[in-house]
Every structure is written in structure tokens, then in C-alpha cells.
Amino acid sequence: MATNYHDITLALAGVCQAADLVQQFALKGEAEQTAFKTSIQSLLQTAPQDTLAVYGGDLRNLKPGLQTLLEQLNGSTEDLTRYWLGILALSGKLDKNSEAKTELARRIQHLPNQLVYQDLFDEQMLGTLAGMYVDIISPLGSRIQVKGSPLYLQQPAMHNRIRACLLAGIRSAILWRQVGGTKWQLLFFRRRIFDTAQHLYNSI
């Protein structure tokens, strides 16, 4: 079966978009809202028709992620590289832990019930998403150390946003694996991924 670099690149852009949001919140205390909403809403897409549907069915929603992916494949921003590679590593550990996978799926399936009473972007809901990351993903190991301004990193609300974005990154990393993404492609087929990302970015 041929490798689907189109879908692999979309999912990888989703990972990079989440990682970039982590960095924005850590450094500036705010982030681009459309990208943030796209990443967080991707957590609710448990039965998408295709890969792009995870991101609202509109390639424009992934433009920041595609741009970040292109920059990363050209070798920029060390902290950001550490974030998205760390997300991929954690998703690999999650994939091998059936108990953690089952618990994460259970909690995500429960989210629509909570959204009857709350908005997805309310502080309490962002806290719920952050709690999933702390309870299920963090214990897997390979903890991601986020660097930024102490002014923002000391704020509980910012912790919630950063962890919710990391969880969204994990969701995209799971998708990346599901559509055939592997770490070997990042080593040996980097140019193919770059060219696909460039084509997608230019089509927006």
C-alpha cells in the first residue's frame, strides 16, 4: 500500500500547530485564536470522514501548523522542535499502553455530555482537558518541559491552556500514526513531507 503523504503531512501539521500554540502561550500569554480553536476542537472529532475533517474540513485552519512544519523541517526554533518531537514520543508510549488509551478514549467520549452545560473554551472545560493530560499522558514518561515567561507559566489558567494544547497535539500524533506516519519518514523522507506541506500551504 502506497504511503499517503498528504494525510501524514496534515496530521503532522496538526502536531506542529499544537506545539506552536504551547510556545505562544508560554512566551506571550496568548495565542492565535483560530488555530487554538481548531486544535482544541479536534479532540471532539472521534469519527471523522477523513483527515482534514479533524481540523474542521478547511485547510485554512491548519495554515499556522503547515507554516510551522515547513520552518521546523528547515531546522528552526530548538524549543519548538523539542515540543513536537516530544508529543510524537509521548503518543508512541500511549500507543503501547492499552490501559491509558482506554481511559483517554473514555474521557473524550464523555466530553459531549459536559458540553451540554459548558462551552469548550470555558476555564472549567480547559481545566478538564488539562486534567486528562496530567492524569493520563504525563505518567507515561518523557515529560515535556515548557520554557517561557514566569509571568505566564505561574498562572493556573495558562497551565490549562498549555496542557490542553499538548493533549490536542497528542490527538494529532495519534492520527499521524493511524494514517501511516513513522519516525523513519522524518529521517529519510523529510523532503517528501516538506514538498507536500509546501504544496498544501501554497494551495490555501
Q: How far apart are CA 80 and CA 68, in angstroms?
A: 9
What angle do helix axes 190-202 and 5-28 make, rounded to 10 degrees? 80
How many domains in the chain? 1
Q: If you average pLDDT over residues 10-31, what whole number do you get?
A: 98
Could you list the residue range(s) of the whole structural domain that residue 15 is in?
5-202
- CATH code of the domain containing 83: 1.10.3890.10
Angle at 19 between CA 146 and CA 69, to 5 degrees: 135
Is residue 54's pLDDT more than 70?
Answer: yes
Residue 2: the pLDDT is 67
pLDDT tens track for 94-119? 999 999 999 999 999 999 999 988 99
Q: Is 189 exposed, middle or buried (0-12, 13-18, 19+ CB in 10 A)?
A: middle
Q: pTM surpassing 0.95?
A: yes
Residue 75: the pLDDT is 79
pLDDT tens track for 174-191? 999 999 999 999 999 999
